[in-house]
Structures are given as C-alpha cells and as structure tokens.
Amino acid sequence: MVKEKSAGWNGISKLLLKRVLASLVVLFLMITFLFFLLRIAPGDPSQKFVSPDLSPRLAAMVRQSFDLNSSLLDQYKTFILNLSKGNFGISYTYQVPVIEVIGQFLPFTIIFSLICFVIQISCGFVLAKFVVKNINGPRDKIISKASLMVYAMPSFVIGVALILIFSVWLNIFPSSGLSSFDFSSYNFFQKIFDYVRHMVLPVITLSFGGIAVYYKYLRDNLEEVYNKSFVENLRAHGFEEKVITRKHVIPNAVSPLIAVAGVELGLLFGGALITEVIFALPGMGRLTVNAILSRDYPLVLGCTFVSGVLIIITNLAADLLKAKMDKRIVKGILN
Amino acid sequence: MRNKYILAILLIFTILFLPSCTKQIPISQNRVVASISSDIESTNPLFAFDIDEGTISELLYLSLVQHGWDFNTGSMTTQPMLAKSWEWNKDSTSITLYLRDDVKWSDGQSVTAKDVIFSFDVYSDPLVQSKLYGSFKHFYTDTSMHVDLKKTFDVINPYKLTINFKKSSPASFYDIDFPIIPQHIYKNVSRKDFVTAEKEIKPVTDGPFELAQWNKSQSIILSANTKSFLYNSDNIEELIFKIVPNYYSQLTQLKRGEIDFMQDIRADDYPLLRGQNNLKLTSLKGREYDYVGWNNLDPEIYKQTKRIVPNKLFGSTVVRTALTYAINRAEILHEFLDNHGEVAFGPVAPIFSSAIDTSLKPLPYSPGKAKQLLASAGWKENKNTGLLEKNGREFSFTLDIPSGNPRREFAATVIQNNLREIGIKINIEKLEPEIFFQKMFARELNAWMAGWSVSIPPDLKQFWYSKLEDAPLNVASYQSKAADKVLEEIESTRSEKFKDELYKKFQEIIYKDNPVTFLYWINNLMAYNKRIKNFQLTPLGPYHRCWDWSVR
Amino acid sequence: MKFYPKAWHFIILIATALFLLRFNFIINSTLLTIQTIRLIFVSPSFVFSQINFQFLDPLLSSALVIIIPVIALLKHGSKFLQKKIDFTSLVIIILAAFFILAPLAAGSNPDFQKNLSVTKLLPPLSRVKVLHLKSESHVVSDKNYFFYLKNLVVKRPFDETIVYADSVISASDVICYQGGEQVEFPKEHIEYRNGSPVVTTRLFLLGTDEYGRDIFSRLIYGARISLFVGLGSVLVSMLLGVLLGFIAGYPGGVIDSLISRITDMFLAFPVIFFIILIIALFGNSIASVIFVLGFSGWMSLFKIVRGEVISLKNKDYFISARLAGLTKTRLLTKEILPVIIAPVIVNLVFQYGNVILAEAALSYLGLGTGSSYPSWGAMIESGQNYLSQAWWLILFPAMALFFTLLAANNLGKEINTYYNPRLEE
C-alpha cells in the first residue's frame, strides 16, 4: 500500500509505457485478425468492375492489380512489409494512398467530435447541477423525462426535424454541407461565419443524445452520493453544503462517468455516420462504412487502425484523469 | 469572474455575426446546382466508372464525335465535335478524320492528332486498366487487346488522320466515341502506376467546362470554359454537382431551390412535387429494367463441377412461362411505380423504337393459366398442404434480393403473395448488395430479383450467349442454340436495318423461352427548377449538351 | 377506506376488454382448435403439416386471454399482483399483453397491404370502404371447413377477396374510386346481400404507413420484436460487461490488462463489418441480430464495472470487510453490487434504447430482422422520411419506445432501491 502511494512520476511513466506498448501489440493483432477476416468474408472488391458497359476482361485485370489472386499469406507479407514503412497501401476506390484519404476526412471528424463532446459534457453537467439542489422536485422530474424523450428520438429523426424547422420553414441555417459554393471568395470572418452557420444543426443533432446520457449518469450518481453516509457525516460536522458539493459529492459522482466519457469520445472519433449522411458532411463514419460496403480492404484497415489509436488515446486519457482523482488506484487503473 | 465569460462570449458572437449583417453573401445567379448522391472518385475519363463520373469527365474532355438521339427511329445520330468532318472508305474499314484546329487544352497547347493516338494507346493499355480496356474489338490489337498503333493510324497532318479498323469488322462511330486526353501531360506517366500517378496531376482539359473546385464529399464546381468553341456568354457560367447522400435531403433542397436539378425521384414523391411552383417535372423513358432471375442450371452442380445441368425447378421453359403468368407485374408497376414505366417482355428497351418487336405483348397476369401450365409439367397440388408437388418434391424456393432497395422489397412481397396463390411457397432473403452480386455473378443463386440498365446500342451477347465464359452477365445461364446464332449474326452485321430484324427475331426467341421473368422498364423521374432554360432530355441523359442551358 | 386499483384489477380489465373487442375472433379460434383436434384423429399427417408458429400463435393467444385473468383472480394475493398500479406497472402490463396476445390485439396481419393508391399514408382514424368479392363456394368437408376457419383466424398478409376503395357506387356494374381512378367490377364477381353489394368500412386507428399497412397492428407486433431483441441483447451485454469487468477489476494484474486491451480492441473494431459478417455467416435471424447487438454494446459497461471495482477494493471499508473474512459471494452481493448498480442500470436503460434504435439502423442497411417482422426502430426509421407529410408514422412508435424506456428507467430505480435501501429515506 505504502509503496503504491508513493509511486512517483517514474513509476507512472513506466506504467504508461507498458500500457501503450500493450495497446499497440493488441492493435496490431486486431489489424491482422481483420486482415484475414476481410479476405475470408463474402464480398469481392472487383465487383464494381463487372457491368454491362465494361469488358469482362477488365475485372480479371483489376483483381490481378489488387493482388487478390496471390495466396493469403503472401498478401499478408506484403501488407506487413508496407505497414512497417507506415504505408497502408492504396485505397481501391480512391486510388490514392490510404493515409491521404484518411487525411482528408479525419481533421473534420476530430474537430466536430471535440465540439460535440464539450457541449455534451458541459450541458449534461449544467443540467445535472441545476436539478441536484432539489432531487425529485418538479424541475428534476421534467428534465429527467425530457432527457429520456430525447433519447428515445434517434439522431436521424432529430436531424431531419431540425432541417425541417430551421432550414425549410424558418430558413435560418443551410440544410447540408460544410461550406457555401462561394467559400473561396470570402474573407476570413465570412469564412468562419460560413462554417459556423453550416455546423449549428449538425452539432445540435449529434450533441442531443449525448447530453441526455451524461445528464442521466451525473444526476443518478449525484443522487446516490448525496445519500451516502459520509455526506451525512460531513453535514453533521457542520460543513457548508456548497463545500460538500464541490469538494466531495461531485468528485465522487463524476468518477464512473469518466470511463464512459472516454469510451464515448473514442467512438465519436470513429465518426458519426447518421449525422454525416443527413447533413452531407465529410467525416470518418461515412468513409469507413463506404469502405466496408465496397470492400475497400486497405481503407477499412487504415480507418480501423486510426480509430483504434484514437480510442486507445481517449481511454488512456480517461484513466489518467480517473487516477488523478484517486491517487490510490493509479496502478490498478493504468494497468 | 462570471461576467467576464459572458462578455467574452458576446464578443465572439458579435465578431461571427457581424459580417453577415454588414454584407450579404454574394450569390452568382448564373449557375445551376445539380445533386448527386455520392462523391466521384476521378474526373479522368479513363477511370470514369460510374454514371456521374462519366457525365463530369465528358463535360471536361471532348470526344472525336458527339452523339444525338433520333426519336423517330429510336437510334443515335452522329454529329461533329473534335472532328469537324470525316470520310469513311468504301468498305467502311477505315475513317479519315478532320480535326478542328481551334481547340486548345487549358494550358494553351493545341489538341492534335497525337493526342488522339495517345488516347487510343492509353485506353487500350492493359497496364492502365481504363474503363474501355478490352472493348477495342474492331481494331488491330496484340494478344493483350492493346491497340496496334502502327497498323491503325495514318497521320496526314496534325489535324487530319486516318484510323484503319480490322478487316471485315463492322466498325462504327461507337468505336471512336470517347473523351480524348492530353498527350503532353500524361506521356511520361508510368503506365503501371497510371491510376495512382494520374491523381497527382492537375487536370488539363479542353471541354465546354473546366474543373474550378472539388471539395471532397461536398461539391464539384465546374465553370464554363470561355475559350471553348462551345462557349456562349448567354449561357450558364457554373455547373455545380452537389453531393447530398440522403435522398430526402435532396428532395428538401430541390423544393427550397438550393438545388436546381434532381434525378431518380421516387414515383410516390412525384405527385407532391407537382404542387411546387418553381419546379418543372419531366421523365425519361426507361432503359433500366427489373427482372426475376430463374437460374436455368443447377447451381450446386455448376459450383462443384462447372457442368451445366438443368435446374430442378426452373430448368423447364414451361415452368418459367407459368411463373411469368403468375406474377402480377402490372400491379407492382401501378402500385409502386405509379405507372411510371411499362411491363417488359424482353431485353430490348422500348426507346429503341425500330428494334422493338411491337407484335409481342407481355404475358397477362393469369394464375389460372399458370396453374394449368404447371400441371402439364407435372406439378400437382397436394390437397393437404395446398402446395404444388412433383415426385414428392415441394415447389418452394428462396428468392434473394439485394437489401436497401424499397422497390424490390415491395415487388418481392407481391410476388411472394402471387405465387402463394398458385401453390408455390417462397422465402424472401435480403442480402447485403456486395454479397448478393458476388453470388449472382458466381451463378450460385437459385432465384433472385435484380435489374439491368441496357447500353446504347443494346449489347445482348454479354447477357444471353450460351457460352458462359463469354457472357459473364448471363447470370441466369440461359442456353439456346437459336439465340446464339442470332447473337453472332448481330455482332457481325453492319446493316442497321438487318440488325433491327435480328433484334426482333431475338425478342421472339426470348419471349417464348422466358429465361427470366422480365418485370418492367422503369422511367427515370426528374425535376428541375423552371429558371433553367433550354433543358433537353434524351435517352443520352439530362447533361447531354448542358452547356446550352441558361438561367434567368 | 380508499380504493387503490391494483395490478390484478388492471390485468383482468385488459383481458376483458380484449375478450369483448375480439369476441368473434376468439369464437373462431376456439372452433378451429376443436376442428384441429378432431382432425388429429382422422388424418394426423395433415394436421402436422399445417402446424407452425403462425398457426399456433392466434390459438394460444385466444386461450391465454381466458386463462390469464383466471390465474390472476386465483393468485391475486401474490405480492406482484397486489402492487398498487402506477405508471411503471401499467406500461409493463400493457407491453406484456401486446407481447403475448399480439394476434388477438392487433386484429390484422402487420404486413397486410392492398390497393396502395387508396391506403397509402392515411392519417389516424381514417376509414376506407371495403368491397367484398365473391369467393369460391366451399364444398362442405372437414378439411375445407378447417381451411375456412384457418383463413379467418390466421391473418394473411394478402387477401384476394376484398378491394379497398375511397367510394363505391353500385350501378349496372359496381364502380370503385381508388385514388381518383375509376375501377369497374362486373356484378358477377361481387358478393351480394339483399340485392346490394356487400360494402363494409375498415378503420385505421393509428393510420397507415407508406405501404398502406396498418400502423396499429405493426405497433403491437413491433412490441414483440422490440422487447425480444432489446431485452435479449441487453442481457448479452450485461453478462459480458459485468462479468468481464469484475473478472478484470477484482484480481487486477495481468488478467486485467489483457481483458482491458481486448476491450479497447473491440471498441475500435468496425461494428458494421462485424454485423455484415455475422449475418452473412449465420443468416438474417433474430438470434444473430440479438447476438450482434449485444456483443457490440458491452464495452462501456465493462469500463464502468472495472473502474468501480478497482476503486472499491482500495476503499477502507471494503478492505476491512474482506479482512473480516466475508466470502467472495457475500462481498459481491453485499459490497460490490450495491455500489455498481446505479451506473450499471443507467447504462442498461440507455443500452436498451440504443439497441432498439440500432436495430433500425440495421434494418436500414437491410441487415435487420427483415421484412418478416415490423419493429419500432424500423418504423421510426422509415417515418423520418415522411416527417413533413405524415407525423403519425413516427409519433406512435417513438411514444411506445419512450414509454418503454421510462418504465425501464423506473424499474431500474426500484431495483437500485432494493439493493441500496438507504435511498428510500
């Protein structure tokens, strides 16, 4: 126990290193697993080259150039060799290196996810704090029911409804896309304004469900912590309610949320398929799903790798945060 | 503390919203926005595999000739484009082309005969894997189908060249109708890595439009090429293809005027658009049909031994004819497509008015006739189960459909009910499209529903020829000596008139054999904003001559 | 003394209501049951060839609508049935009734479609005219009588003996108007009674969808699929998440890091590919959908449980409890479970909502339970397309989902209170 408590920076960095290494090994194993699974699973990447307008010989040539005719092991060898040079190969559909394709889609997804994540967490937190003063009071009941109602509405319904209200009827926001056609002729402020205008509806759509989730977790945890005996003890000792809430209740209530938040942020980085489709946004969700549906093997592997790395990072961040709140469990959590 | 935050937020908002208050964002009215549902992957005509890519690449790059549509005969006409005139030799095995001398690539170089020769070279190069690879059948080629440049081309001067086709091949304008690419740009690109290397090169074009901007997954902006001989300052300055993946978002934006033109509107949404004052509705007679495929051979045996053994259920012409009688095609057409189409009886589209056999009429819906035919083939009703049986085998099978297509799902349900009425039990299975098509092309499916879009002119051999290696699209594995003979004749004949006769003959054979059950030809329903003038619609597509559009 | 309605009152009320509303149906299915039993002795092979789930389902529900209230009456002293009726138990009882008695409650086949031009997108409480065509006269025999009854009881998705119309005019021929179109039927094809054609009306209580199918019956059958798939996959997720979380968090060390890393891997694994793969390999059945959805949703639960267990086992009171020599099971039930139950339940409630909606996304990709069953998720999904024209497509399934979630949430709270009795004060 004593030893663990004094685990200093050195100990933590060792733990971190171990964990990152383990994560990378697992990621590599998963990519390998996926590599074989993709090729064994039904479906054929050269399918789009079979059509009445094309010569039957073309599909055979294409298969050859995708290297799909050689043995699985040979294909794997080439893949690993390329991977060791940081090369995921060339996307079958886009015919440019996978890294380049992902480079076009990832920045948007990261920015979009972070904005939504911050909004989800802060709105959820504000709402939970708003009701916590009188748990089971009227405002708690209303907000709790409303949050479930929001949750029962899937994001595609919210998205379509928002478009209907704000673009079709009120004509305030554009209904799709990331920027206007004349974007390149705008000055700096107009550009930013154009982005903001386009992003309002998608951000609301993607954030709505998340707000409900975080609110619910926080509210229920707060309720529970308030009823814990140690809070009563503190009250009995004459501590101010504000101090109790800030110093003791909130930290305790937030801790299970952190794990969820880490997972959720990682998933957000994987892309928000439905929101992207409704609002025609260039994100990772659409990219990955299209890659899967068209059996673009290198692109699927690339997308999985990137989202795997991001998930590892967010989970690590979540665990670090959790460990920071409770020093005693550093070792257990970071394991 | 808190006030500071509020102040900061207010400040940010003012900064963001100020520009919008002071200055209206300028919108160029001289543009047309069309919607497409997914991004293109290339603007290069070599790799324009899907329809949108084809459209865009043909607006960027000129072809030697341009086709038009003759509504009277239902066939294509040929008009000058890069070639201002031409002469065929006596036996039509070579053509001399006179190129325009006023066409320039966007970097200022002239378009000459060397670009033409280079294009044939690259298109037919097996290493490049262009979309036309393997289709230069009427040319002198080596064994890998690469066009033999020496034998084929005689350059008289930079603007005059002769193309020699293979002796006795029925060459036509279709053989030279594709966009020409600039030689000086691509000559040093390695052929092996052409597909990827081409992506690094900024497009140099000569068409009526130039690529102004390509925002991945969002929009492709084409602007009129003011130097082109097709340019007219009264016409549109910009043609924008906006990528809107969601069908209903497209519809909403069409109604709002955010997009000006939309294709493939579903029949049930069509009446709602009629009330829209800003829109004009139009439709293109179909050259796309749905069909129910009956595998004529036994898929199990074919998979194991590649031997062709008639299918236990659908191997018999009588059974297939009975199934065609039993399916209420008119009802599906009426109920789902709101009669925007017509019941089909063969693979030749009604738009080819001189080739279609008007004496044939689709078999009527008649469960009674179907039952009678099935009884004659030995399928008798089992009084206990109400199902048809023959030698103890029940008439039941799985009908596969690709998922995500509401029309086919609807039709499948109707067919299920139709066949249940005559004592046939079918089980509908929805397969993910990739898996579905893989199985279909491998001829592993027993019965399925899919569709084909036929090319202009109709190319029937790929679909119906008995030798399966030469007919990858004959997924029903139809076998008929008579049909083979006609198909071979169509391929070798040059007379359009005789070809039409042969098409009719072929339709009669198919009509009798019912290799599959043809369901219906589906019209492409479109709507465009009334502000677009000169909008012309031919079977060659809505963007044919779209540089003539203007907006008021 | 004040009268509080109790759960068993409500059960009997629902059963009676259904019994009265569907009296004809119950009589017919009773007759069919009798006929079937008679035929078993005459030609058993025939009967066995006829029996399947679609056949037994309406017969069973007709039987249960009588049996259940009797049982409720007999056992009304039991704790559950004596419960005061509140929102949660109300929703649960209604859902259970739909789940068990779907064929009885729905009254028509959820996939029934006919004359789209008349029935497409009708708003709630719409009525259409039904023209009855002559059906072939039956020779009276045992089997024909059996089929006659079967057609009445086992609802089919099609019916060639009726025609829906907006209005019907009887002249020399009978003329129907269908969506502005005029269709004529010769007299000899029409069923006549007292010299005039038989025309009834059909009421669509909650309207119809884009294929002209009755939303009310789809909603009821949808309860089956949504409850079954939802509960099934939540159960799978819970087992995996809680079990693995506990296995990883409690001993810690190598096992923990192994399981944690594998979980990270599952988070990164492309779910859609996983779904396509499973469904391609094991077919598009309900079981594979449950498995797929359950298997792709356990990760955040695992994270919660593991994190809580780790922080718990370092808490002083837990250490002292362990030192006091509590057995592992007692530690689990008395110390660990009460702590993790609140976040776990929240997670499960959301997971339930997620699953039902994810099933919709699956249906969208064509990978769901298929068109053979309607599901709430799929109904909401298809309804979004008609949001501006037909609000009823989305409102009713969404309300059903909302009430179910609310009930699940309340139920979760009750379970939490049961494990943490302090909360009640």
Shortest CB distance from B434 goes to which of A47, A96, A160? A47
Tell me, yes or no, whether B385 lies in a domain: yes
Q: Based on the fold, state whether residues B537 and B427 are members of the same structural domain.
A: no
**Domain range enclosing A228:** 104-325
Residue at A237: amino acid letter = H
CATH classification of the domain holding B88: 3.90.76.10
Band of pLDDT at residue C344, cut at 50, 70 and 90: confident
B336 touching chain C per CB within 8 A: yes
Band of pLDDT at residue C8, cut at 50, 70 and 90: confident
Comparing CA positions, the residue from B463, B469, B468 lying closest to residue B486 is: B463
Shortest CB distance from B430 goes to which of C115, C158, C284? C284
Q: Based on the fold, state whether residues B49 and B88 are members of the same structural domain.
A: no
Lowest mean pLDDT among B321-335, C15-29, C59-73, C406-420: C406-420
Residues of B in contact with C179 (CB under 8 A): none
Contacts of B102-106 with C-beta under 8 Å, sequence gap 24+, read B102/B229, B103/B62, B103/B206, B103/B228, B103/B229, B104/B206, B104/B227, B105/B182, B105/B184, B105/B185, B105/B204, B105/B205, B105/B206, B106/B203, B106/B204, B106/B205, B106/B206, B106/B210, B106/B225, B106/B227
Q: Which residues does C328 contact at the CB level (< 8 Å), separation at least 6? A: none
Q: Mean pLDDT over residues B148-153, rounded?
A: 92
Q: Based on the fold, state whether residues B338 and B484 are members of the same structural domain.
A: yes
Band of pLDDT at residue B339, cut at 50, 70 and 90: confident
- How far is residue C187's CA from residue C171's CA, in Å, rounded to a whole number? 9
- Residue B83 above 90 pLDDT? yes
Percentages (nearest 5) of helix, strand, coil residues in chain C: 65, 10, 25
**Domain range enclosing B466:** 286-524
CATH classification of the domain holding B311: 3.10.105.10
Tell me, yes or no, whether B265 lies in a domain: no
Does B417 contact C111 at a Cβ distance shorter than 8 Å?
no
β pairing state of B31-36 and C196-197: unpaired
Q: Based on the fold, state whether residues B37 and B119 are members of the same structural domain.
A: no
Q: What is the pLDDT of residue B510?
A: 94
Q: Based on the fold, state whether residues B307 and B450 are members of the same structural domain.
A: yes
Does A167 contact B252 at a Cβ distance shorter than 8 Å?
yes
Structural tokens at position B110: 């002239």
Tell me, yes or no, whether B270 lies in a domain: no
Does A181 contact B33 at a Cβ distance shorter than 8 Å?
yes
Express each pLDDT in C197-223 by its tens digit. Answer: 888 898 999 999 887 889 999 999 988
Residues of C in contact with B403 (CB under 8 A): 365-367
How far does A233 lie from chain B, in Å, by closest CA?
32
End-to-end Cα spacing for chain C: 26
Higher pLDDT, B44 or A148: B44
Q: According to the per-residue pLDDT averaged within each range, which of A57-61, B56-60, C220-224, C365-369 is highest?
A: B56-60
Q: What is the pLDDT of residue B288?
A: 92
Tell me, yes or no, whether B502 lies in a domain: yes
- How far is residue B330's CA from residue B346's CA, in Å, rounded to a whole number? 15
| Radius of gyration over every alpha carbon of chain C, rounded to an integer in angstroms | 27
Q: In degrees, to the nearest 5, what angle opens at C-alpha A301 toward C-alphas A295 and A305? A: 150
* Chain B interface, best mutation among A95, A167, A190, A295, by max B CB count within 10 A: A95
Q: What is the pLDDT of residue C271?
A: 76
Q: Based on the fold, state whether residues B339 and B393 are members of the same structural domain.
A: yes
Q: Mean pLDDT over residues A119-142, rounded?
A: 84
Tell me, yes or no, whether B370 lies in a domain: yes
Residues of A in contact with B461 (CB under 8 A): none
Q: Mean pLDDT over residues B384-399, rounded?
A: 87
Q: Residue window 148-187, chain C: list those with CB within 8 Å of chain A.
A: none
- Residue A255 above 60 pLDDT? yes
A278 touching chain C per CB within 8 A: no
Q: What is the pLDDT of residue B43?
A: 92
Higher pLDDT, C299 or B179: B179
Tell me, yes or no, whether B2 lies in a domain: no
Q: Based on the fold, state whether residues B173 and B75 are members of the same structural domain.
A: yes
Shortest CB distance from B384 goes to which of C46, C157, C365? C46
Structural tokens at position A217: 């977790």
* Chain C interface, best mutation among A140, A156, A331, by max C CB count within 10 A: A156
Interface predicted TM-score of the whole assembly (ipTM), two decimals: 0.81
CATH classification of the domain holding A189: 1.10.3720.10
Q: Based on the fold, state whether residues B211 and B70 are members of the same structural domain.
A: no
- Residue A298 above 90 pLDDT? yes
Higher pLDDT, C185 or B489: B489
Element (H, E) at B449: strand B447-453
Average pLDDT over chain C, rounded to whole?
Answer: 82
Shortest CB distance from C116 goes to which of B335, B420, B430? B335
- In total, how many domains does chain A have? 1
- Residue B23 above 80 pLDDT? no
Average pLDDT over chain B, rounded to whole?
Answer: 88
CATH classification of the domain holding B41: 3.40.190.10
Structural tokens at position A120: 């989800």
Higher pLDDT, B447 or C340: B447
Q: Mean pLDDT over residues A83-91, rounded?
A: 88
Tell me, yes or no, whether A70 lies in a domain: no
Express each pLDDT in B511-521 by its tens digit. Answer: 999 999 999 99
Comparing CA positions, the residue from B247, B117, B127 lying closest to residue B189 is: B127
Shortest CB distance from A181 goes to which of B42, B135, B221? B221
Q: What is the pLDDT of residue C290?
A: 87
Task: Give the residue on B whose Cα is nearest the Cα of C275.
Answer: B432
Tell me, yes or no, whether B9 lies in a domain: no
Tell me, yes or no, whether A211 lies in a domain: yes
Q: Based on the fold, state whether residues B237 and B107 are members of the same structural domain.
A: no
Q: Based on the fold, state whether residues B338 and B470 are members of the same structural domain.
A: yes
Does B435 contact A167 at a Cβ distance shorter than 8 Å?
no
Q: Mean pLDDT over residues C106-132, rounded?
A: 85
A30 touching chain C per CB within 8 A: yes
Q: What is the pLDDT of residue A45?
A: 86
Q: Based on the fold, state whether residues B482 and B427 are members of the same structural domain.
A: yes
Q: What is the pLDDT of residue B252?
A: 85
Tell me, yes or no, whether B247 lies in a domain: yes
- In total, how many domains does chain B have? 3
What percentage of chain C carries pLDDT values higher than 70?
93
Lowest mean pLDDT among B476-485, C55-64, C332-341: C332-341
Q: Mean pLDDT over residues C131-147, rounded?
A: 72
Q: Based on the fold, state whether residues B382 and B453 are members of the same structural domain.
A: yes
- Residue C113 above 80 pLDDT? no
How far does C342 lie from chain B, in Å, by closest CA?
34
